[in-house]
């Protein structure tokens, strides 16, 4: 399958699972979003009142609404019409005002129609790994941003999370002291073709993940003229009580499931 076909299949899958995603996250996000994604993006973004922000791959508008509530002028886009419908419904209930657009992140020309040198910041929260091509988004972003602008992303950590980790729990009895250890086993990092993943527990349709080693991910941004000036690797600091006994990421505190970074125009 080529990039266009993968992208169209992805769009169809996201349209089909929009309702599930919305029920999982609601207006404020699940524990993963609230504990890891949102704090790291907000820290890196360091938003100032009245700034103009574009949220790329906005889903049901979680991040876009959060930024609008913090005083930003927010535009947001997604290629899933079903997601945008849910985002608009949340906004009208919450009194937030985001300008939502149906745009495909792999279509550079469509992105540029948003207006060159218009945005102080672009955010892309947990969507890069869902896109079969990221060069068009970085290329367009380098022109959509003001010269002093920043691009803040959060994505599945390429070293630990987007390459199908195998989760392990071991029990050890050392001289009567019983302990449990959590570890992950990796088989692939450098070369991994697009594979469908189950996503969050209970997702109705698996969708493609596009794993990129760190060099591939960051070189795509560097090629578009960005430099990386901050990086965060947030991990859970405590168990999630509702997940007792599971192999949830909150058990693997030595491994950051996401990587968040801030890029600026060089």
Footprint of ligand SAM on this chain (CB under 6 A)? 7, 10, 14, 57-59, 62-63, 78-80, 83, 104-106, 125-127, 130-131
Is the sign of the CA dihedral 22, 76, 12, 137 positive or negative? Answer: negative
Instruction: Tell me the H-state helices in 95-181.
Output: 108-112, 135-144
Minimum distance, C-beta of residue 142 to ligand SAM, in the bound complex (Å): 17
Rounded distance, CA 16 to CA 80, Å? Answer: 9
Cβ closer to ligand SAM: 183 or 200? 200
Please list, in sequence order, all residues whose beta carbon lies within 8 angstroms of the beta carbon of residue 49, skipping any fewer than 6 positions away: 71, 72
Q: Which residue is nearest to ligand SAM (CB)?
A: 59
Cβ closer to ligand SAM: 156 or 218? 156
Cβ closer to ligand SAM: 145 or 152? 152
Cβ closer to ligand SAM: 216 or 239? 216
The residue assigned the tokens 């080693």 is: 213
Rounded distance, CA 102 to CA 203, Å? Answer: 23
Cβ closer to ligand SAM: 14 or 151? 14
Minimum distance, C-beta of residue 205 to ligand SAM, in the bound complex (Å): 12
Considering just the CA atoms, what is the radius of gyration of the chain in Å? 19
Minimum distance, C-beta of residue 57 to ligand SAM, in the bound complex (Å): 3
Minimum distance, C-beta of residue 135 to ligand SAM, in the bound complex (Å): 12
Minimum distance, C-beta of residue 160 to ligand SAM, in the bound complex (Å): 17
Cβ closer to ligand SAM: 43 or 182? 43
Rounded distance, CA 217 to CA 34, Å? Answer: 24
Rounded distance, CA 35 to CA 45, Å? Answer: 16
Minimum distance, C-beta of residue 125 to ligand SAM, in the bound complex (Å): 4
Rounded distance, CA 245 to CA 104, Å? Answer: 40
Provide DSSP, 82-93.
HHHHHHHHHHHH
Cβ closer to ligand SAM: 79 or 236? 79
Q: Which of 53, 66, 67 is nearest to 26 (CA)?
A: 66
Residue 177: Cβ within 10 Å count: 7
Minimum distance, C-beta of residue 178 to ligand SAM, in the bound complex (Å): 38
Phi, psi of 255 (to 5 degrees): -125, 120
């Amino acid at each position: 399958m080529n990039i266009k076909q993968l992208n169209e299949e992805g769009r169809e899958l996201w349209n089909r699972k929009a309702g599930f995603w919305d029920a999982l996250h609601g207006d404020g996000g699940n524990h993963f979003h609230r504990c890891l994604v949102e704090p790291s993006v907000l820290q890196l973004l360091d938003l100032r009142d009245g700034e103009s922000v574009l949220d790329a791959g906005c889903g049901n508008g979680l991040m876009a609404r959060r930024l609008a509530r913090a005083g930003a002028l927010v535009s947001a886009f997604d290629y899933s019409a079903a997601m945008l419908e849910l985002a608009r419904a949340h906004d009208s209930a919450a009194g937030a005002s985001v300008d939502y657009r149906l745009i495909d992140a792999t279509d550079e020309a469509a992105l540029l129609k948003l207006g060159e040198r218009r945005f102080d910041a672009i955010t892309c929260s947990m969507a890069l790994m869902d896109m079969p091509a990221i060069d068009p988004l970085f290329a367009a972003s380098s022109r959509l941003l003001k010269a002093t602008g920043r691009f803040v992303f959060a994505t599945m950590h390429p070293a630990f999370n987007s390459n199908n980790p195998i989760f392990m729990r071991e029990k050890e009895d050392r001289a009567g002291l019983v302990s449990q250890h959590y570890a992950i086993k990796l088989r692939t990092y450098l070369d991994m073709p697009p594979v469908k993943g189950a996503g969050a527990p209970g997702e109705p349709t698996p969708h493609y993940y596009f794993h990129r080693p760190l060099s591939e991910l960051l070189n795509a941004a560097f090629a578009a003229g960005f430099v990386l000036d901050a990086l965060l690797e947030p991990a859970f600091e405590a168990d999630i009580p509702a997940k007792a006994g599971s192999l949830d990421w909150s058990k693997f505190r030595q491994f950051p499931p996401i990587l968040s970074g801030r890029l600026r125009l060089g």
